[in-house]
């Protein structure tokens, strides 16, 4: 082998060795990288396992707290659970848990409906929900159970609501006090409570705009309801859409043989009463126009009411020979308005200043107080015959009449005066003389 050839072989050997050293370095670096990745994964796995272990521990503690609370609820008396909605905080294993507990009545499948007096079985759904700060987006622990009422725990109440025509009235929300809750009348007019705690002193209330009871009041307020364990109490109520009445008032003035409308709204009585065989209801006259005023709401009986002026039964016209218009009948439609014409009896009296007819300078003003306590003022006297310019006043057998002249120097007070005559007054009517010794008007 020549020297030149030997040198070439040596050079190739050196290059080959240099190339293998680079490969060894790369392999070492790759191996180190893999080892680091594996090590990081192991650490992450250990951390995750630790966290999962902490979460499982927290959930286990939360479950114990929920179960303990549920057991405590089951140990309470059944009636104390309604209604129940309470929140407490329990610390367990160094963790603060928030516990929400509720008790909800559960309707029995196929339970009686309407006003059947059969009762549904009483059940209560108990539920505890446990949360804690570190739970993040995880779901809370929820436990629930169903308990049945023990014998004697509660009773029932059925309320039947009917209207003026005897029809069922639906959609009326009724509130039973003492935690009884609200029930709304169904298509049969019935509202029912099947799981009320036994006891006395329950109250039932309701108020629906536009609806009235037979006594004309809008509010239902029944007290002293007793609910007996294992029994069903029943209550019937009359409640319906009310109606109004438009009344045109008339009177008979001196010199007229027929009744005529009152000439102005300020002469219209302040109250009107409607009466039938069952009830008498008084309502104020609102927004009178001319001789006509409107009053309401009244319960819509299918039979008619008798209508008269003033606010008590003493003003209801009685006796024989009354004109039909003295106590006219009117039917009040549900949600609508009836109308009628009412004639007021004329005060059958003439007033003089100690026997002399009043003049424009010594006129007389008359006031009356009815048996109902209503005071009517400002009635003037005609100079032609001494009768009232507007004699129409409520029917009364015992009113007080007070008359005073313009100068307030003469007066008269007449008690026990009857206003029961529907004929027009005249110059021959009983005379009431104003004198200087007359009593002072008491109203």
Residues 339, 246 share a domain: yes
**Does the residue 29 lie in any domain?**
no
Final residue in a domain of this structure, among 196, 225, 240: 240
Predicted confidence at residue 13, as pLDDT, reads: 56
Residue labelled with tokens 């008396």: 77
**Does the residue 15 lie in any domain?**
no
pLDDT in tens, the chain (443 residues): 556 665 666 566 566 645 555 555 566 565 666 666 655 554 454 454 444 566 889 999 999 999 999 999 999 988 888 778 999 999 999 999 999 999 988 877 777 778 877 777 778 899 999 999 988 888 999 999 998 888 778 889 999 999 999 999 999 999 999 888 999 999 999 999 988 888 999 999 999 999 999 999 999 999 999 999 889 999 999 999 999 999 999 999 999 989 999 999 999 999 999 999 999 999 999 989 999 999 999 999 999 999 999 999 999 999 988 999 999 999 999 999 999 999 999 999 999 999 999 999 999 999 999 999 999 999 999 999 999 999 999 999 999 999 999 999 999 999 999 999 999 999 999 999 999 999 999 99
Residues 365, 336 share a domain: no
In angstroms, what CA-CA distances link 260 with 252, 272, 291, 385?
Answer: 6, 19, 10, 19
**Does the residue 91 lie in any domain?**
yes
CATH of the domain at 295: 2.60.40
Buried b (16+ CB within 10 A) or exposed e, 360-385: eebbbbbbbbbbbebebeebebbeeb
Residues 275, 236 share a domain: no
Element (H, E) at 91: strand 84-92
DSSP class of 28: H
Predicted confidence at residue 24, as pLDDT, reads: 57
Predicted confidence at residue 18, as pLDDT, reads: 55
d(CA 341, CA 325): 6
**Does the residue 139 lie in any domain?**
yes
Taking alpha carbons only, the member of 372, 370, 216, 207 closest to residue 282 is 216
**Does the residue 202 lie in any domain?**
yes
Beta strands in 107-242 (DSSP E): 123-132, 141-148, 154-162, 173-176, 181-184, 190-197, 199-207, 211-212, 219-227, 232-238, 240-241
Residues 215, 247 share a domain: no
pTM: 0.74
Residues 394, 406 share a domain: yes
Q: Give Cβ neighbours of residue 385 (< 8 Å, ≥ 6 apart).
A: 254, 350, 357, 426, 427
**Does the residue 36 lie in any domain?**
no
Predicted confidence at residue 154, as pLDDT, reads: 83
Residues 129, 109 share a domain: yes
CATH of the domain at 218: 2.60.40.10
Residues 178, 128 share a domain: no
Predicted confidence at residue 50, as pLDDT, reads: 46
Identify the burial level of 194 via C-beta atoms within 10 angstroms of its C-beta, where 0-12 means exposed, 13-18 middle and 19 or more buried. buried
Predicted confidence at residue 428, as pLDDT, reads: 95
Residue labelled with tokens 């060795």: 17
Q: Are 308 and 273 in contact (CB under 8 A)?
A: yes
Residues 227, 250 share a domain: no
Residues 310, 372 share a domain: no
d(CA 410, CA 206): 56
**Does the residue 11 lie in any domain?**
no
Predicted confidence at residue 151, as pLDDT, reads: 75
Predicted confidence at residue 46, as pLDDT, reads: 43
Residues 227, 245 share a domain: no
Q: Within a 13 Å sphere around the CA of 421, how many CA atoms are in the beta-carbon half?
A: 15
**Does the residue 45 lie in any domain?**
no
Final residue in a domain of this structure, among 240, 270, 289: 240
Predicted confidence at residue 55, as pLDDT, reads: 81
Give residue 297's domain range: 241-343
- Total domain count, the chain: 4
Taking alpha carbons only, the member of 145, 133, 153, 239 closest to residue 196 is 153
CATH of the domain at 83: 3.30.1300
Final residue in a domain of this structure, among 326, 343, 360: 343
Tokens of residue 381, six digits = 């006297």
Residue labelled with tokens 């959930």: 59
């Amino acid at each position: 082998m020549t020297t030149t050839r030997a040198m070439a072989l040596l050079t190739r050997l050196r290059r080959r060795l240099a190339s293998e050293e680079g490969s060894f370095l790369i392999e070492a670096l790759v191996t180190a990288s893999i080892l680091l990745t594996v090590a990081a994964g192991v650490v992450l796995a250990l951390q995750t396992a630790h966290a999962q272990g902490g979460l499982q521990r927290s959930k286990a503690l939360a479950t114990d707290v929920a179960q303990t609370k549920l057991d405590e609820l089951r140990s309470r008396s059944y009636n104390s659970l309604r209604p129940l909605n309470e929140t407490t905080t329990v610390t367990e294993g160094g963790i603060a848990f928030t516990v929400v507990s509720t008790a909800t009545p559960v309707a029995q499948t196929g339970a009686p409906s309407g006003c059947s007096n059969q009762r549904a079985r009483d059940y209560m759904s108990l539920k505890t929900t446990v949360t804690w700060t570190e739970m993040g987006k995880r779901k809370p622990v929820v436990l629930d159970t169903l308990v049945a009422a023990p014998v004697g725990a509660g009773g029932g109440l059925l309320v039947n609501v009917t209207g003026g025509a005897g029809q069922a009235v639906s959609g009326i929300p009724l509130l039973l006090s003492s935690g009884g809750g609200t029930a709304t009348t169904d298509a049969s007019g019935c509202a029912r409570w099947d799981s009320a705690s036994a006891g006395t002193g329950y109250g039932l209330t309701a108020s629906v705009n536009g609806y009235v009871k037979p006594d004309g009041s809008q509010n239902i307020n029944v007290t002293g309801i007793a609910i007996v364990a294992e029994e069903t109490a029943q209550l019937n109520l009359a409640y319906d859409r009310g109606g109004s009445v438009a009344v045109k008032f008339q009177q008979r003035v001196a010199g007229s043989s027929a009744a005529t409308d009152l000439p102005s709204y300020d002469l219209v009585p302040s109250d009107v009463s409607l009466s039938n065989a069952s009830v008498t209801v008084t309502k104020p006259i609102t927004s009178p126009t001319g001789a006509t005023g409107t009053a309401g709401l009244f319960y819509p009986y299918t039979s008619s009411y008798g209508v008269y002026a003033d606010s008590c039964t003493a003003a209801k016209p009685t006796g024989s020979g009354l004109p039909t218009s003295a106590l006219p009948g009117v039917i009040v439609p549900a949600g609508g308005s009836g109308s009628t014409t009412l004639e007021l009896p004329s005060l059958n009296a003439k007033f003089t200043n100690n026997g002399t007819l009043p003049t424009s300078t010594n006129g007389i003003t008359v006031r009356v107080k009815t048996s109902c306590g209503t005071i009517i003022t400002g009635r003037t006297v005609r100079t032609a015959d001494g009768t009232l310019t507007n004699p129409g006043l409520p029917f009364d057998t015992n009113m007080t009449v007070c008359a005073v002249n313009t100068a307030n120097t003469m007066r008269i007070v007449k008690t026990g005066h009857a206003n029961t005559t529907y004929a027009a007054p005249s110059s021959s009517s009983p005379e009431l003389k104003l004198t200087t010794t007359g009593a002072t008007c008491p109203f």
